[in-house]
Each structure stands twice: as C-alpha cells, then as structure tokens.
Chain A
Amino acid sequence: MSILSQPQYNPLPKSLLNTAHHHQCLRIRIYCSTTTAAAAATTTTATATKPKYNSQHHLVMAPTPPPQITTPPLPPPPSPTNQQRVMLDDPTLKSTWSHRAWLATGCTTVAVSLLKCVTGAVDSHTWQEPILAGLAGYILADLGSGVYHWAIDNYGDASTPVFGSQIEAFQGHHKYPWTITRRQFANNLHALARVITFTVLPVDLAFNDPVLHGFVALCSGCIMFSQQFHAWAHSTKSRLPQPVVALQDAGVLVSRLQHADHHRPPYNNNYCIVSGVWNRVLDEYKVFEMLEMVVFFKLGVRPRSWSEPNSEWIQEETQTEIPLLK
C-alpha cells in the first residue's frame, strides 16, 4: 500500500495553515490504495519536500522556495469491481420491514423469557440456579449452532423443503464469505428470529419457572444472535468495536481465527459459531465425521465435505478493504 502524491503546496495565511494541514492529512488517509508504479514514483518525489513545524506546530516554510512538485492528478479511489459493486448494492443484503418485524418478535420473546427469569429469581431469592441454567443455555447454544451448521453445510440443496433457502444462503456464504459483513442487521438475523419466536413464545406463555427461563433466554438469545457473532468473526479487527474484539479474544464469542479455519479446505471443522467452545472437542474426537459415516452407511448420502471442493464451495473473493459506499 502506498500513500498517493500530495498536491502542489502554496503558502497560506497562518490562521488557515492548521486547517489546511488537517485537511491534507485526512485526504492522504482516505485515498490509501494498492501500490501502482505511477503512485510509487510520485510518492518518492512527494516525500522529498515534507514540511517542517516549529514548537507551536505552525507550518514553517523554508526560506528558499521549495521545488515545484508537479504531480499527475490523483487517481480516483479504487472502485470495486463490477461484481463487488453489484454485490454491495444487492437488495438481498438489505433489511426489509418483514425482517425487522421478525427480529422484533424474536427479541421480544427472548426479552420476556429473560424478564421472567429475573423477576422469578428476585421473588424466590434464588440466583445461583437461574445463572447456572443460563450458562448451560449459552454452552448448549454453541453445540446447537455447530450441529445445525454442519447439517446445512453438508446436506440438501436449494430445493430442500423448509431449509432450502438457508442451505442456499450458506453455500453462497462459502463462496463469498465477506458478504455477511455487509448484510444489514435484521436481514442477517431474521431467519433465526422467526424460529426463536415460534419456539420461545409457547414457553413464555406456559411457564414461569426462573431456572427454565434462565436456560431458555440465554440459549435462544445466543442462537438468535449467532449470525451476528458469525458476521463479527468475518470482520477485521479494525472494523469491530473494542468490546467485541475483547469478547472474541476471551473466547466468549467465536474468534475470527477459529472461524477462518472453517473456511479452508476441507471445510469440515469449526462448525460452532456462538462461542466456539465445542469446536475443539467435536473436531478432536471427530464427532461430525462419525455422524457423516453413519448417515452415509444408513442413508447412502455423502456429505458435501467429502467431495473435492467444487466451484460452489471455493471462496471466490478474498476479503479486501472495499470502500464503504454508504
């Protein structure tokens, strides 16, 4: 990466110098790009006349006029390839009101469950059991996410009833993994939110036990937000909020490194995407391989991960710092 050339420099009134320099710095920061021969040549020339500062940080020009830097016009910022532009503008990445509605209902059912847990715990003065139940729910959610992810990644296709659209989405994700970071929030979570709404609502209506709700709230909440954790695992450290990075580093959320292993051939490990705490055990003891063998011998169906990676699996785009268009 190289910093593109600076423009021609003219003396300015003192009051405007800081502002001008500030704008100059901003301009350099924004237009960082991959190195080209022209830019490299220009950069070499430009850095020869770096301005100097006195102790009060005012720009001080040398008494002799600096050499005139004639530089070619700044090349435009790197524009995405046509395919990337189409994908960034892809309406399927945007949230619709239906997505938002499902997300709202899902969050409401989880929130009600959590509220019932807290109020029940307060009323009965028992905190330990609901907290332990919540912890169990968090741990089980990770296992559940792994099993579901394994099944969706390996079996069925777009025409499979009920799960077809999810299977297609996961296959697309393997081809373009970075697009998950461009999905809008409700778009990313609405499918899971819909499932959570239907499963948690009856529990909310039928039960008041704080221990049960501790488990249900954490388990369902983690499952619903697993796609967000998944998206964070695909993002770069610089783009993530510090608390998220801290949680990933602490192993509370699935780490970027661990999930990256899932996107390398033979694509048959690290399926869990909540905390990833189950990944090591499941991979070390080859649990999914065992399940695949059982399905193969009982049903005659081979999982996708057994075949040579074909074009549908191979990641087509490596993640690049594509400028945010919006």
Chain B
Amino acid sequence: MASLSLSFHKHSLPSLLPRQSPKALSSSHNLVILPKSSHSQFYSVKLSSSSSVSLPSSNSSSRMTFIFAKVNKGGVPPSFTLKDQEGRNVTLSKFKGKPVVVYFYPADETPGCTKQACAFRDSYEKFKKAGAEVVGISGDDPSSHKAFAKKYRLPFTLLSDEGNKVRKEWGVPADLFGTLPGRQTYVLDKNGVVQLIYNNQFQPEKHIDETLKLLQSI
C-alpha cells in the first residue's frame, strides 16, 4: 500500500507505459510487467513502499525474459550506461559506495527543468556535504546537455537517455495522458537501494527539498 503526501489537489492519471497481455506473447518477446498502481500526480507524490506484482502463467514451450519495469523503494534499479554531456559513457554502478540522486526531467531549456537544475546547482554543496552525487537524465542528446550545463553552470552530470529507454525501464510515469515525460527523482543509498521516489511535475524545486531531507536522515 503506497502512502501519499500531497501539497495541492491532485490529478491522478494512469501511466501510459505499454501493457502487454501475457497471452499475446510469442517466445521471443520480453514481458514488461507493471504493477496496478502506476500513477503520476501533478503535485507531490512520495512513494514510500512497494506495489505487488503478479506474474502471468508461463507457456512451457516459450522462453520469456521478465523485466520488472518499475523501480520501487527498497529495490535495486536496473543498471544503465548512458552518455554524459561530454559524450563519455557513464554507468550507474560508477556511483556505488555513495548515495546518488537520479532525477528524470522532461527536457533541457524548459522552464520547470531549468528551475530544477538551477535548484540542484544552488544546493550542490549540501549534496556534496551529504556525500551524494546528483545525476540528471532526460531524452535530450549530449550536445543539448552540454549547452544546458554550460549556460546554467551546472556542476553535476547530465545523461542522455535517447529514446527514453531507461525512463521506461525504471517506470517513470508520464503526465497528462502520456503527453508529458514525468518528473521523478530517485534517491539511492550507498548500496544502490532506492530509499525515496518523489514525483512532482510543476513544483520542481521541491525535489531538492525532499531529497536533501532524506539524505540528511540516512
């Protein structure tokens, strides 16, 4: 059962991540399993416990690979390797041994994302003091990230999730019936376990407050 904290009235929207019926699968498909509660909220959803996942019945003659598409609190998210703003490959495992804040945002040079990036920048010393790294991920290419980071003097890493593959793997819910990429932040502890998931599309600065609050308590 998820506990929710809300600051304004919410618009509860179903996630539009693709759902596949298990019966329709062929042997070469990867099954994407989604729990029932994949909601995105406009204003402040903090998920503090995991949802249950039901597995389909398997066909003995088919070979299936199960991908758990949602990252939950207490779980270890799937690793990724993405390019940063300098074009270098960066893997999630690079940050093991220290807390890391992974924030998914819609796009560079949009008002909310700029506010969020600048808020992370302005509080970066506090994150460093807590021993944490900050990593931003969006679907923009490395050159866009480079320009964005340079313009706003962002001291942290921005990763290019072109095609939004990692976003889908982690189960970041979309907003407004799938028209807007969601804004969701994960805090991973030094063991790589998710301790906080915070979603808030239109109050980007709150992501910094919530993540710092948690980092100062772990």
Contact = CB atoms under 8 A, between A and B. Distances in A.
- Decide if A and B are genuine partners: yes
Interface in A274-326: 285-286, 289-290, 292-294, 296-298, 302, 306
A294 B180 contact: yes
A289 B111 contact: yes
A297 to B, nearest CB: 6
Contacts of B181: 297
A306 B111 CA distance: 7
A306 B176 CA distance: 20
Given A293-B106, A297-B106, A306-B111, A286 B202 contact: yes
B179 interface: yes
Interface residues of B, number: 12
Q: Which of A266, A294, A298 has the most CB of B within 10 A?
A: A294
Given A294-B180, A298-B179, A306 B109 contact: yes
Nearest to A294: B179
Interface string B108-149: 011110000000000000000000000000000000000000
B179 A289 contact: no
A306 B112 CA distance: 10
Contacts of A298: 179
B64 interface: no
Nearest to B109: A306
A294 B202 contact: no
B183 to A, nearest CB: 10
Nearest to B180: A293
Contact of A296 (B8, B107, B202): B107
Interface string B27-70: 00000000000000000000000000000000000000000000
A294 B112 CA distance: 13
Nearest to A305: B111
A296 B138 CA distance: 15
A298 B112 CA distance: 17
Contact of B110 (A266, A268, A286, A296): A296
Nearest to B8: A285
B180 A289 contact: no
Contacts of B112: 289, 293
Nearest to B202: A286
A297 B202 contact: no
Contacts of B176: 290, 294
A199 B111 CA distance: 37
A296 B176 CA distance: 13
5 contacts: A290-B176, A294-B180, A296-B107, A296-B110, A302-B109
Given A290-B202, A294-B179, A297-B181, 15 more contacts: A268-B111, A286-B202, A289-B111, A289-B112, A289-B202, A290-B180, A293-B106, A293-B110, A294-B180, A296-B110, A297-B106, A297-B107, A297-B179, A297-B180, A302-B109
